[in-house]
Chains A and B, each alone.
Chain A
């Protein structure tokens, strides 16, 4: 029966979705217990967040710069280059900041988490923890899950700030727009609740989704070197799909 079930890829997808849902419930249940291991949580925030800063800041800068360059060409057709700051800020805050940050973190931190937990599983470290009455869900899974939720919105804010800086660099310093117009139109249009906080909410959800997928894939990785490799790949693939799908759904609800 089980083998028959595994052969059907559609059923298998539904089964692993269900397993992931149950795993989410188990991890969420282990969160209160994991607060005892706050040092581990601190270390994971450092690993997911602080170690991703360089890539997030670099990418944010370049995304802001290319946005300004592209939008400048389009807006100048309509003689509306004064709205460049608004356009860059809104694209970053609402879409690109949360989404690109989530994709970067899935690639940089999610893969590492999957490989780490997968190797823990393969070398029986998780079982050893259970033997020592340390719940691996509380000590390994929950801190990494929480760290994603904490780190992602902060990273997205850093990304946005760097993007604005990059847009300013291109728009004002290079293309010669007026500095006051750039900031004035931006500040008169961007709203804290509607634009900035909605982006933050998005990235909180993305953080939870990415770290859940990474931890789940590591937890269920087949205990072989090949299995860990496949699981790491699946983390990136599934995270990217889910991030973009959730982004569409959340945008539809927010606007």
Chain B
């Protein structure tokens, strides 16, 4: 009692087509960079305010993605955010006096961690902490500062006495 061959051929072709579609979606519409690769090392950074930074946000040097944010947690003693950056092993020559800052891509885009390389001859290793960090720019703080400092008449907002918390932290 053989089945009609058209069933078998049709079924086989259908299953092949389905898996081909899945493979197409998996390879062509996602990027390999999104899949967390095993070859990476962890660098710590503390921020006073992380803004809208989320886990798995990109970490970039000069705009090139070198890793992603692995975890974000509050450190209870110091009341600041401890951000673990997972950086690809390929980029293991980042000077240890580099500074990390939280930037926004575009005007309304997602936030990412940008690393500004320093000049130290020694490099960041697994578990190191980046000392120089700059918090996320808060629009509310900027607007608040601008309003308190009196708007257009004295628009030198940056040189006015600090009326609210400065956006930078951790700078020696």
Instruction: Give A contacts to B, CB under 8 Å.
Output: 39, 42-43, 45-46, 49-51, 53, 78, 89, 93, 150-151, 153-155, 157-158, 160-161, 164, 183, 186-188, 190-192, 195-196, 200
Bound complex: CA A50 to CA B4 (Å): 15
Determine whether the beta carbon of A161 is less than 8 Å from that of B25. Answer: yes
Determine whether the beta carbon of B14 is less than 8 Å from that of A154. Answer: yes
Given contacts A154-B22, A161-B21, whether A192 and B34 have CB atoms under 8 Å apart is: yes
Bound complex: CA A151 to CA B18 (Å): 8
Determine whether the beta carbon of A154 is less than 8 Å from that of B13. Answer: no
Ranked nearest first, the 4 interchain pairs of A and B with the lowest CB-CB distance are A154-B18, A50-B14, A157-B21, A187-B31
Nearest-CB residue, chain B, relative to A90? B29
A-chain residues with CB within 8 Å of residue B1 when the two chains form the complex? 39
Nearest-CB residue, chain B, relative to A155? B18
Given contacts A153-B18, A154-B18, A191-B34, whether A49 and B11 have CB atoms under 8 Å apart is: yes
Given contacts A154-B21, A200-B22, whether A42 and B11 have CB atoms under 8 Å apart is: yes
Nearest-CB residue, chain B, relative to A196? B25
Nearest-CB residue, chain A, relative to B26? A192
Bound complex: CA A191 to CA B68 (Å): 14
B-chain residues with CB within 8 Å of residue A93 when the two chains form the complex? 25, 29
A-chain residues with CB within 8 Å of residue B31 when the two chains form the complex? 187-188
Determine whether the beta carbon of B21 is less than 8 Å from that of A158. Answer: yes
Name the interface size band of chain B. 20 to 34
**Chain B facing A: main interface SS:** helix
Bound complex: CA A157 to CA B14 (Å): 12
**Chain A facing B: main interface SS:** helix
Determine whether the beta carbon of A39 is less than 8 Å from that of B3. Answer: yes
Bound complex: CA A234 to CA B124 (Å): 65
Determine whether the beta carbon of B15 is less than 8 Å from that of A157. Answer: no
Determine whether the beta carbon of B19 is less than 8 Å from that of A186. Answer: no
11 pairs of residues in contact across A and B, judged by CB atoms under 8 Å: A39-B1, A42-B8, A43-B11, A45-B14, A49-B11, A49-B18, A150-B15, A157-B18, A157-B22, A187-B30, A196-B29
B-chain residues with CB within 8 Å of residue A50 when the two chains form the complex? 10-11, 13-14
**Which residues in chain B, 19-57, are within 8 Å of chain A measured between CB atoms?**
19, 21-22, 24-26, 28-31, 33-35
Determine whether the beta carbon of B17 is less than 8 Å from that of A53. Answer: yes
Bound complex: CA A157 to CA B3 (Å): 27
A210 to chain B, nearest CB (A): 16
Which of B14, B28, B34 has the most C-beta atoms of chain A within 10 angstroms of its own C-beta? Answer: B14
Bound complex: CA A189 to CA B6 (Å): 41
Bound complex: CA A151 to CA B10 (Å): 12
Given contacts A154-B18, A161-B21, A161-B24, whether A42 and B3 have CB atoms under 8 Å apart is: yes
B-chain residues with CB within 8 Å of residue A196 when the two chains form the complex? 22, 25-26, 29-30
A-chain residues with CB within 8 Å of residue B19 when the two chains form the complex? 154, 157
B128 to chain A, nearest CB (A): 28
Given contacts A42-B7, A42-B8, A192-B34, whether A158 and B29 have CB atoms under 8 Å apart is: no
Determine whether the beta carbon of A53 is less than 8 Å from that of B33. Answer: no
Nearest-CB residue, chain A, relative to B2? A39
Determine whether the beta carbon of B14 is less than 8 Å from that of A49. Answer: yes
Determine whether the beta carbon of B21 is less than 8 Å from that of A45. Answer: no
Determine whether the beta carbon of B7 is less than 8 Å from that of A188. Answer: no
B-chain residues with CB within 8 Å of residue A155 when the two chains form the complex? 18
